Amino acid sequence: FPHLNELSRLIWQWCEERDIWIVASYVNTKDNHADFDSRIINPDTEWELSNKAFEIITEKFGKPNIDIFASRTNAKCKQFISWKPDPDALAVDAFTINWQSFDFYAFPPFSLILKCL
């Protein structure tokens, strides 16, 4: 988008001529009112294995150290990878990391099961 580069250059020059300084600063997501809608959690889209079934699995195979298909509301491990940006997630998108680095737990959406295998 070269036209956006040019537009930002013009805005910067306009500000410089008026002794206005633009400063980028971090705003915590919880304090960012413009980001509010992205933090609404829809329980109809939050699928998870029951806690009892998870206990049975971990008794047999051991406790995983990361849940690679989770959100903050359904993560079975302290560390998790989310499908969308989340400040508490270790990463975004389980397919962007090397799974061999972890003893992981995965309960992917049904539509992604074949991709996981």
pLDDT band at 39 (very low <50, low <70, confident <90, very high): low
The domain tally of the chain equals 2
pLDDT band at 20 (very low <50, low <70, confident <90, very high): very high
pLDDT reported for residue 115: 92
pLDDT band at 44 (very low <50, low <70, confident <90, very high): low
Query: Of 98, 67, 71, whose CA–CA distance to 82 is shortest?
Result: 71
Q: φ and ψ at 49, to 5 degrees?
A: -75, 145
71 token code pair: 């959100």
Question: What residues contact residue 105 under an 8 Å CB cut-off, 6+ apart?
Answer: 54, 57, 58, 64, 66, 67, 68, 76, 77
Q: Is residue 97 part of a domain?
A: yes
pLDDT reported for residue 84: 86
Give yes or no: residues 10 and 30 share one domain: yes
What average pLDDT does range 65-93 have in this prediction? Answer: 93
pLDDT reported for residue 40: 65
Give yes or no: residues 62 and 102 share one domain: yes
Task: Mark residue 40 as left, alpha or beta (left: phi above 0; alpha: psi -120 to 50; beta: remaining).
Answer: beta
What average pLDDT does range 23-50 have in this prediction? Answer: 75
Please give the residue range of the domain that contains residue 28.
Answer: 2-39
Q: Is residue 11 part of a domain?
A: yes
Give yes or no: residues 105 and 53 share one domain: yes
What average pLDDT does range 84-90 have in this prediction? Answer: 90
- Cβ atoms of residues 79 and 67 within 8 Å: yes
